[in-house]
Copies of this chain bind each other. A is one copy, B any other.
Amino acid sequence: MAKTRKPIRSEMAWSSADRIVVRGKDLPGEILGHFNLGDMAFLELTGRAPSAKESTLFNAMVVTLVEHGLTPSAIAARMTYFGAPEAMQAAVAAGLCGLGSVFVGSTEACARMLVEALPDPKADADLEALAREIVDAHRARKAIVPGIGHPIHKPVDPRVPRLFEIAGDCGFYGAYCRLVEAVQQAAERAAGKPLPLNATGALGALACEMGFDWRVCRGIGVMARAVGLVGHLLEEARAPISAEIWHRTDDEASEDLKPK
């Protein structure tokens, strides 16, 4: 089967004997010492340097997602490190594998919901009406509205007002932020109980404000958690807890099966 070859192209980087260029910028001359890690992530995602205000907001967004304590993801990473301490990279990988629909997924689901409801943020839209439509549609199919509700942070997720404050300072508090707040209010009214806007909801709205495709949201969450998982593994190396979690779990789980 003679196939026509397609070209293989990537614009991420190139190098020669004396040069290294990333997304069109000279790494030693234009990036090192000038870009912080969040700026570099922005360059990787968009192909351009962030403005000062984009840098401030984007760094805050990623930083929000770095550390959440002993999540299932952190426990998976620590359990993996216990068995293969020589391969820390695989322990981080194991922790990332669980960043799917249940956790990181709600940011992208919220961003997608907002951008599908309001494709043009400059349009003269009735945000309250859109919010009611969104909430009604979710309630009709008994689905949770992504970005709304939190098991612990009630009545307010403390990250949300701070993120919106930073967004306001940076000129990024716009129609998507107002829409997600209207969604929260509509959801709360419909449910008849406190339903806070959570951090993933605020981050989904901010991703839309910055013009990111909703698919970028999971990537932001994944890179942030990679940073946090390294922190957990270094603590695990200093003060291990995985063996104790293992023994308690295994002992309890098979207790009833054993002959008395």
Give residues in A with beta carbon < 8 Å to B.
1, 3, 5-23, 27-29, 31-33, 35-41, 44-45, 55-56, 59-60, 62-64, 66-77, 79-104, 152-154, 156, 158-159, 161-163, 165-166, 169, 215-216, 218-224, 226-228, 230-235, 237, 239, 241-254, 256-259
Known contacts A14-B69, A94-B94: does B45 contact A230 (CB below 8 Å)?
yes
Residue contact A254 to B79, C-beta cutoff 8 Å = no
Residue contact B79 to A67, C-beta cutoff 8 Å = no
- Bound state CA distance, A91 and B32, in angstroms? 27
Residue contact B93 to A5, C-beta cutoff 8 Å = no
Residue contact B93 to A218, C-beta cutoff 8 Å = no
Query: Given the complex, which residues of B lie within 8 Å of A92, measured CB to CB?
Result: 93, 96, 219, 222-223, 226
- Bound state CA distance, A63 and B19, in angstroms? 16
CB-contact partner of A59 in B35, B85, B231, B244, under 8 A: B35
Residue contact B215 to A234, C-beta cutoff 8 Å = yes
Residue contact B86 to A90, C-beta cutoff 8 Å = no
User: Lowest 6 CB-CB distances: which A-B pairs, in order?
Assistant: A84-B100, A44-B231, A83-B98, A226-B226, A37-B38, A219-B230
Residue contact A154 to B17, C-beta cutoff 8 Å = yes
Residue contact B69 to A8, C-beta cutoff 8 Å = no
Residue contact B80 to A66, C-beta cutoff 8 Å = no
- Bound state CA distance, A226 and B230, in angstroms? 11
Residue contact B72 to A80, C-beta cutoff 8 Å = yes
Known contacts A28-B158, A89-B84, A104-B89: does B98 contact A231 (CB below 8 Å)?
no
CB-contact partner of A67 in B13, B99, B233, under 8 A: B13
CB-contact partner of A218 in B20, B88, B251, under 8 A: B88
Residue contact B158 to A5, C-beta cutoff 8 Å = no
Residue contact A156 to B18, C-beta cutoff 8 Å = yes
Residue contact A254 to B14, C-beta cutoff 8 Å = yes
A196, chain B: closest CB distance, angstroms: 10
A21, chain B: closest CB distance, angstroms: 7
Query: Given the complex, which residues of B lie within 8 Å of A156, measured CB to CB?
Result: 18
7 pairs, A vs B, C-beta closer than 8 Å: A15-B254, A20-B153, A33-B60, A35-B63, A73-B83, A87-B87, A89-B100
